[in-house]
Amino acid sequence: MDARQILKDHITKTVELTDAQFDGFYACFKHESFRKGQMLIREGDAVTREYFVLSGCLKTYFMNDELRMTILQFAMPTWWASDYDALYNRHPAAVIVDCVANAEVLSISADDREKICHEIEAIGHFFRWRTNRGYAASQRRLLSLMTNDTKKRYEDLLAQYPTLFQLVPKHLIASYLGVSRETLSRLYHSSR
């Protein structure tokens, strides 16, 4: 399926658009490819764009002073990724976005987005809805982290994204779950 159709399917799940409206929206995007290991956003960058994943996988993460990585999100196809705090408030990037598995993405600038939101009310609604959904997902993750033990979180992740375990190295999954790679390894082998 081509980029255009993937985006169209994605957005029409939430709002209705005329063909002309979708054309205007699609024209805001730039098609880009990234190879495993490439960075889309570096720490300290001025962030101007956000990314819609067509294929492959990205991750957004934070690096602390001791060079320890904490993964905030894996972005699989039809997910969006950026440093939204930096993008919206024009701060330098605090989080890093890079490519975990060779990826095709569509990117849009914050300015173009604001403009198209202004022109087409349905797009404005879509982005409010999408940001809201991201917020809800972030809260669910917080909740899961605070109420479930590691084993439960691991099993939930496995159930929700079975393909993730083939796609990305285990120490990244450990980082996402908030445990050491050793603990994940033991967990992984104790339950079969």
Partner DNA sequence: ACAAAATTGTGATGTAAGTCACATAAGACC
Partner DNA sequence: GGTCTTATGTGACTTACATCACAATTTTGT
Given the rule CB under 8 A, which residues bind its own copies? 62, 64, 68, 70, 72, 84-85, 88-89, 95, 114, 117-118, 121, 124-125, 127-129, 131-136, 138-143, 145-147, 178
Subset of residues 133 to 172 that bind DNA, contact rule: CB under 7 A = 149-151, 169-172
In sequence order, what DSSP letters do the residues of 167-192 get, joined into one string? HS-HHHHHHHHTS-HHHHHHHHHHT-
Cα gap 110→140, rounded to integer Å: 26
Which residue is it, tokens 């956003």?
A: 41
Q: H or E segment at 138?
A: helix 121-147
Q: Footprint of DNA on residues 167-186 (CB under 7 A)?
A: 169-172, 178-186
- Buried b / exposed e over 143-152, threshold 16 CB at 10 Å, is eeeeeeebee
Residue 189 touches which of DNA, its own copies, none (Cβ within 5-8 Å per kind): DNA
70 in contact with DNA (CB under 7 A): no
Residues in region 3-42 near DNA by CB under 7 A: 36-37
Element (H, E) at 56: strand 49-63
Which of 34/127 has CB closer to its own copies?
127
Q: Decide whether 92 or 169 has the Cβ nearer to DNA.
A: 169
Amino acid at 114: E
Q: Is 57 in the site for DNA (CB under 7 A)?
A: no
Q: Which residue number, 24 or 124, has a Cβ lying nearer to its own copies?
A: 124
**With CB cut-offs between 5 and 8 Å by kind, which of its own copies, DNA, none does residue 55 bind?**
none
Instruction: Look up residue 27 and give its two tokens.
Output: 């024209």
* 122: its two tokens: 């349905």
Nearer to DNA, 4 or 171 (CB): 171
